[in-house]
Amino acid sequence: NAGVTQTPKFQVLKTGQSMTLQCAQDMNHNSMYWYRQDPGMGLRLIYYSASEGTTDKGEVPNGYNVSRLNKREFSLRLESAAPSQTSVYFCATMGLAGGHTGELFFGEGSRLTVL
Amino acid sequence: GNSVTQMEGPVTLSEEAFLTINCTYTATGYPSLFWYVQYPGEGLQLLLKATKADDKGSNKGFEATYRKETTSFHLEKGSVQVSDSAVYFCALRDSSASKIIFGSGTRLSIRP
């Protein structure tokens, strides 16, 4: 049971390069999220998708775009990477059925370094 | 807006000590409250939750009680183990929203 799968797990970019982080879930959840984790800052929400076909900005959306490709997949794109985007990125889904009451299920994270 | 404040770490304790990690929140309505744990090199996983006032969430010997009068959800464990070393995050979900807001995390280290 894969749950939430993120790719790639590690990536090094140069300033100005672009890249896409992929996230796929097999939990049949409607809501998907992208967070970034920085030391001392906890997790900050970048974008989320409450359901297929919708996306909304979170706390720190600048410099990012997202695509909810279908119910399973939610990608995060950096169009022109900056050193301030060096972070660990987590994809998550929210369960609201089957006994779950709004908790998140996380992928293992993607560590991105921008030089 | 909604926010979560938790005690800053790092917290270092000896094995079998009593643990408290404080968490307070600001929210409208009646949020659900969560504690997540992150072990080294892993993503976050749910530790326990409470969905209404006076509920007590518990798991793996950890407990937290949803106190609406003090807007708190403090995490406690009576006797910690080395394997409890991790980062702990308090979080809330507003009842009217799909978002979960996290505190800044508390790193816990347990000495043998």
DSSP class per residue in A38-89: ETTTEEEEEEEESSTT--EE-S--TTEEEEE-SSSBEEEEESS--GGG-EEE
Mean pLDDT of B66-76: 96
Confidence of residue A79 (pLDDT cuts 50, 70, 90): very high
Taking the Cβ of residue A41 and every Cβ of chain B, the question of whether any pair is shorter than 8 Å is answered with yes
Which residue is closest to A55 within chain B, CA to CA?
B98
Measure Cα distances from A25 to A94, B19, B50 in Å: 11, 35, 25
Q: Give the pLDDT of residue B96.
A: 67
Beta-sheet pairing, B100-102 with A10-13: unpaired
Q: Do A104 and B44 touch (CB under 8 A)?
A: yes
CB contact under 8 A, A106 and B44: yes
Which of A27-41, B13-27, B40-54, B86-100 has maximum average pLDDT? Answer: B13-27
Q: Comparing A3-7, B82-86, B91-95, which segment has the lowest mean pLDDT?
A: B91-95
Q: Any idea which residue has 């369960």 for tokens?
A: A95
Residues 59-88 of A with CB under 8 A from B: none
Interface of B with A (CB under 8 A): 32, 34, 36, 42-46, 49, 51, 89, 93, 98-105
**What is the average per-residue pLDDT within B73-88?**
97
Percent of chain B with pLDDT over 90: 76
Q: Which residues of chain A does B45 touch, with a Cβ-Cβ cutoff of 8 Å?
A: 106
Alpha-carbon gap: A82 to the closest alpha carbon of chain B (Å): 23
The reply to whether A108 touches chain B by the CB within 8 Å rule is yes
Mean pLDDT of chain B: 92
- Contact at CB, A101 and B49, closer than 8 angstroms: yes
Whether residue A50 lies within 8 A of chain B, CB to CB, comes out as yes
A27 CB neighbours in chain B (<8 A) are none
* Mutation choice for B interface testing from A27, A30, A37, A52 by most B CBs within 10 A: A37
From the list A68, A48, A67, A69, the residue with the least C-alpha distance to A59 is A48
Rounded to whole angstroms, what are the CA distances from A17 to A79, B26, B102? 7, 39, 30
Q: What is the pLDDT of residues A90-115, one digit of tens each?
A: 999 987 765 556 788 999 999 999 99
